[in-house]
Amino acid sequence: MLIIDAHLDLSMNALQWNRNLLQSVYTIRTQEQFVQGKGRALGTVAYPDMRRGRIFLSVATLIARSTGRTVPYFDFATPMQAYGMAHGQLAYYRALEQEGHIRIISDTAALDRHVAEWEAWDAAHPEVTEATPPLGFVLSMEGADPILHPEQLAAWWEAGLRLLGPTHYGPGRYAGGTATELGLTPIGPPLLREMERLGVVLDLTHLSDQAFWEALEHYNGLVLASHNNCRALVPHQRQFSDEQLQAIFARDGVIGAAFDTWMLQPGWVVGQSTNENVTIANVVDHIDHICQLAGNSRHAAIGTDLDGGYGREQSPRDLDTIADLQKLKDLLAARGYAAADIAAILHGNWLRFFHQAWKNN
Ligand SMILES: [Zn+2]
């Protein structure tokens, strides 16, 4: 089964964590045996493992905050530094593309060619192998802080950026993020207008509740939540309430289920709890909640956030590498999902979404 993952911080892993993602997860773990830090030697994502797992298309992020706080590798003292970091990350993806490892997909023609090639390859290769066509990446930015001012968005669009989440954790330059109750800042609405004009799709993930509803008032285009789970199952401000999920359904948006254990199980504490009671079946609980709430399987999909600042210790126990996303197929079937619904959740909904987003490109 071909799979689309709508949220992977690949360039952050490659540049800030200095991981050579052309090597397998197992090789990188061995190299990091003596490297200190959260998630080190416990990674789950690298390109050979994505190929084995047929993650043929992913949303790959640029991420560099400038919130006025300073967090090493993540949060830069000035927007100019964040701009430099994000352009470095963009350059990394372009270098991978120039060397033939990946394709950056930014319009429907390229998407359709990529899908056709992978479908033919998938049908002809039932065996597990890393010898696949190139991986496809759609470029997103998680937190708009590197965009110096709203008028600069056009240049980012030209560079390939297609999705944008205005904020991340904390007080973003454009909007309040996770763990704040801040709304849009004065430069938030002009950015949203420019996104709508250019067709840069709004990723609602990480917006505070206040900013979430304000953003929907100022932006009339297509929306997604690239990596988000359900507040009804695991109460936390980072998760979306049923009312928020319904607002996304109303725009025909799609929600990617995240694999971070604290978003899967109530009461899970980062740095304290173990993953012994968290499995991929918990992810299916969140997918199922979205499908039951919507009354269909149109809006649920995958956005794992694997290796988004953590590793195996904070991922479901039965996930060794990202290739294990293939387990979702049987888990969904065991819940009574029909083959067409499973295909929609694992790739079809994101494909429909990108076609909708790029219908004018
Ligand atoms: Zn995130």
Q: Using alpha carbons only, how large is the chain's radius of gyration in Å?
A: 19
> Which of 172, 168, 108, 116 minimizes the C-alpha distance to 138?
108
Q: How far is the CA of 22 from the centre of ligand 1 (A)?
A: 23
Task: Give distance in angstroms: CA of 231 to centre of ligand 1.
Answer: 16
pLDDT recorded at residue 69: 86
Q: How far is the CA of 310 from the centre of ligand 1 (A)?
A: 12
Residue 292 exposed, middle or buried by CB count within 10 Å (0-12, 13-18, 19+)? exposed
Confidence bin at 72 (pLDDT 50/70/90): confident
Q: What is the pLDDT of residue 74?
A: 87
Model confidence band, residue 217 (pLDDT cutoffs 50, 70, 90): very high
Ligand 1 mean position, distance from CA 131 (Å): 30
Sign, CA dihedral 256-257-259-260, equals positive
Span from the CA of 336 to the centroid of ligand 1 (angstroms): 30
CA dist list (Å): 98 to 33, 71, 329: 31, 32, 33
> Degrees (nearest 5) of the Cα angle 341, 342, 345?
85
Among 135, 65, 130, residue whose Cα is nearest residue 93:
135
User: Average pLDDT of 320-328?
Assistant: 98
CA of 333 to the centre of ligand 1 (A): 28
| Residue range 124-163, pLDDT digits in tens | 999 999 999 999 999 999 999 999 999 999 999 999 999 9
Query: What average pLDDT does this structure show over 94-111?
Result: 98
Task: Return the closest-CA partner of residue 266 out of 301, 229, 299, 294.
Answer: 229
pLDDT for res 117? 98
| Cβ count near 80 (within 10 Å) | 12
pLDDT in tens, 21-49: 999 999 999 999 999 999 999 999 999 99
List, in sequence order, every beta strand (DSSP E) within the chain: 3-8, 55-62, 102-104, 135-142, 161-165, 201-203, 223-225, 254-257, 300-302
Yes or no: say if 230 and 201 are a contact pair by the CB < 8 Å rule: no
252 vs 308: CA distance, rounded Å:
27
Ligand 1 centroid vs 125 CA: distance in angstroms? 33
Which pLDDT score, from 0 to 100, does residue 49 have?
Answer: 98
Torsion angles phi and psi, residue 13, rounded to 5: -65, -40
d(CA 39, CA 16): 13
pLDDT above 90: residue 253: yes
pLDDT single digits (tens) 228-244: 999 999 999 999 999 99
pLDDT surpasses 90 at 6: yes
- Asked whether residue 361 carries a pLDDT value surpassing 90, the answer given is no
For residue 341, how far is its CA from the centre of ligand 1 (angstroms)?
26
Do 179 and 169 form a contact (C-beta atoms < 8 A)? yes
Average the pLDDT over 301-316 and give the result. 97
- The single-letter code of the amino acid at 14 is A
Whole-number Å distance, alpha carbon 256 to ligand 1 midpoint, is: 11
Cα(337)–Cα(257) distance, rounded to whole angstroms?
16
pLDDT, position 37: 93
**C-alpha of residue 281 to centroid of ligand 1, in Å:** 21
Q: How remote is the CA of residue 225 from the centroid of ligand 1, in Å?
A: 10
